[in-house]
A and B are shown apart, each in its own frame.
Chain A
Amino acid sequence: MAKLDGTLIETDVLVVGAGAGGLIAALSAKRHGRSGTRVTLIDSWMIGRTGHTAFSNAWMIVALPEDDIDGITREIVAGNDGIADQLLVRDTLEQSYARLKDFEAIGMKFHRADDGSYARRPTRGLDLARVMYPEGGGLEYCWRLRLALEAEGVQLIDRIFVTGLLRDSDNRIVGAAGIHSRTGAFHVIKARATIVCTNAMTFRSGFVRDITGTGTLLAYRAGAALRNAEFSYVRPGTPKFYFEGITFAIQEGAHFVNAKGEAFMREYEPDWADEADVPRIARAMALEKDKGNDPLYLDMSVIPEGMREYFIQSKVKWMDYFFRKLGAEARTDMFGKTPYYALNQMTKMGVRTGPDCRADVPGLLAAGLAQAGCANHFAGFHIGLCNGNGWAAGRSAIEDLDRLPPPRLDAAVIQLLHDDTMRPLQPAATAESDRILRDLQAVMFAYDIGILKSADRLQRALREVEALDQQFQELAAPHTHELVRLKETEAMLLAARFILGASLLRTESRLSHFREDHPQRDDANWLVWIDVLPGGKEPEFTRTPVPTPLCPVLTRPVRPTRLNQRLAVAGN
């Protein structure tokens, strides 16, 4: 037992993670709370400058007062093949206009058309929903929110990496423990309500490879159930460069082709073709790979010369730098031939909550992508949903302050968390978590594990992950940088087991979950969530029917109206 040495911070509402979900949850808690309510937002790195949202376009689905909210709710539920919290989706859409007004009030500017109306774009896989985007993208979105939170008196603490949630003797969550991600100094934050908003597990694959979503796994360890582990956000991409704009390029005529030059999407998705949503494109790409028709390409040669600069220049600052520095190479790669893959961006696994964003454990809430509201990804409904569940979580947290007694810290629990956090720190050790990570990526990113699934391959992958877990137990960290990465790798290994376990259990195909041995969607048996419950040593996988309080689970429209319109113009 190492001597306890650290800092204790007290607050009312603790928000862990400063992406869209966390920033909005903190704003919501501050605005719903009575005067003097203490709200604290912590992040592993710099609030407002780092994290997934900061590097995104910050596209968000917003329903204006004249929009058909019932219709958009129905198509998002249908677009999730029913695996969605209908009340949360509806609530998110209903309050999206109020959030837009909040954002404008703190200085965000949204693109407008020449006539002064908001510039809005359709998004892949949906018909009625429209996406809006703030000028300056995610960096501006996050920074404006940081400044607003500071102005409204939210306590912001950068560089706290959370290593565990605190439980009291009644199994209520009473805050979190962690380390300063540079100095390694131990911190305890005592809170009456804790909102976990730490994004989703990426296995360091996406364009924002610093995010690893460890908070979700900490919630599990603290007694919360997780759900949607079998679903993931897989998108077409190329490791050579990152191109955030495929949705728009396809709307301008770009399409995927295989090594033979065949535009293969129409074969798999006769109605939507390349405008199908990302899991369907990923599945088609994997099937083409399986047939030996790779490498696959995104053919952007049809984009007219006058439009090309639009795609090469990006409103997102880091991508603008990227393309500018690539110079002529960017044009050659983007409009020439660069192999594309279905890249696994992140799991859709999140904490199980109701539409109020409360987890199963008292005192714990979840928001952002750490909350399992939807199983599918739509451009604009990642941040759109974060705006919604962040607001709901902040509101619920404030309601809980009056219901729950003041928290009491248990010194023994803190000591255990401290010892567990610091145990791997050995100055003479070598940093080896990257080796385990590479092997884990090789298992989880294989196209016939991550996209085309089958029972035998999933079981094999599970054995491989368990073997990696054994190797991992031997590792130690020579410094804080590696200690953080070790904790992240540990969470990724746990997440991999949940993903493979839930994928084995769901014996049907739906969204990104495609079982070659069970290729059909089976609503009679599988209109359910698979929940991962913390049991004894092994997780327990259970099934929870998805309620349908607002609309029955619909099939998707045969073809989106706008695509029909374009094809009609083209004479098809």
Chain B
Amino acid sequence: MIEKIDIERCTSCGICDDVCPADVIHMEAVAVAPEVAGLTRTKLLPVIKFREHCITCFSCEIFCPEQIVDVHPSVKNRPRPW
């Protein structure tokens, strides 16, 4: 399941969002430290929106050009049939 994205090093390319097959990651305008007093500053960054629906396919980690996504191999939300 996806654990974290190192936002500090993110270049906002959006590939993690593009390749996610479960709609878990959304690129959103996130407020960051202001550059000019009085002006709200935002940056398009990946947000882990629906972590509970992650299928642990590692695509976001595999295709991230900056290698800043961490997916843990545990698959907690997979059904146990018996």
Contact = CB atoms under 8 A, between A and B. Distances in A.
B81 A341 contact: yes
A325 B73 contact: yes
Interface string A322-334: 1001100000000
A321 interface: yes
Given A209-B55, A318-B62, A321-B58, A49 B19 contact: yes
Interface string A431-460: 000100010010001110010000000000
Interface string A306-341: 000000000001100110011000000000000001
29 contacts: A45-B21, A45-B23, A46-B19, A46-B21, A49-B19, A49-B59, A50-B59, A182-B26, A205-B79, A208-B21, A208-B55, A208-B57, A209-B55, A210-B55, A240-B75, A241-B73, A289-B82, A317-B62, A318-B57, A318-B58, A321-B61, A321-B71, A321-B73, A341-B81, A342-B81, A445-B79, A447-B82, A481-B23, A481-B49
B49 A239 contact: no
B79 to A, nearest CB: 5
A45 B20 CA distance: 8
A294 interface: yes
B73 A445 contact: no
Contacts of B22: 209-210
Contacts of A207: 55
Nearest to B55: A209
Interface in A383-439: 434, 438
Interface of B is mostly: loop
Interface in B64-82: 71-73, 75, 78-82
A311 B15 CA distance: 30
B17 to A, nearest CB: 9
A4 B63 CA distance: 38
Contacts of B61: 321
B77 to A, nearest CB: 8
Contact of B82 (A54, A208, A294): A294
A341 B23 contact: no
A272 interface: no
A343 interface: yes
A342 B79 CA distance: 12
Nearest to B61: A321
A341 B78 CA distance: 13
Interface in B12-35: 18-23, 26
Given A46-B18, A241-B73, A438-B79, 10 more contacts: A46-B21, A182-B26, A210-B21, A210-B22, A318-B62, A321-B62, A321-B71, A326-B73, A445-B82, A446-B81
B58 A322 contact: yes
A415 to B, nearest CB: 27
Contacts of B80: 239, 341
Interface of B: 18-23, 26, 49-50, 52-53, 55-59, 61-63, 71-73, 75, 78-82
Interface of A is mostly: mixed
Interface string A264-308: 000000000000000000000000010000100000000000000
B19 A447 contact: no
Interface string A481-502: 1001100000000000000000
Contact of B18 (A49, A181, A341, A485): A49
Contacts of B82: 289, 294, 341, 445-447
A326 B72 CA distance: 9
A74 interface: no
Contacts of B81: 205, 239, 341-344, 445-447, 450
Contact of A484 (B23, B78, B79): B23
A445 B81 CA distance: 5
Contacts of B79: 204-205, 239, 438, 441, 445
Contacts of A322: 56, 58, 73
A82 interface: no
A342 B23 CA distance: 28
A322 B78 CA distance: 15
Contacts of A434: 52
A204 B78 CA distance: 8
A325 B73 CA distance: 6
A457 to B, nearest CB: 15
A447 B79 CA distance: 13
Contacts of B18: 46, 49, 158
B14 to A, nearest CB: 11
Contacts of A51: 21
Contacts of A45: 20-21, 23
A55 interface: yes
A344 B80 CA distance: 10
A317 B64 CA distance: 14
Contacts of A46: 18-19, 21
Contacts of A294: 82
A48 B18 CA distance: 11
Contacts of B78: 205, 209, 239
B3 to A, nearest CB: 11
A289 B80 CA distance: 14
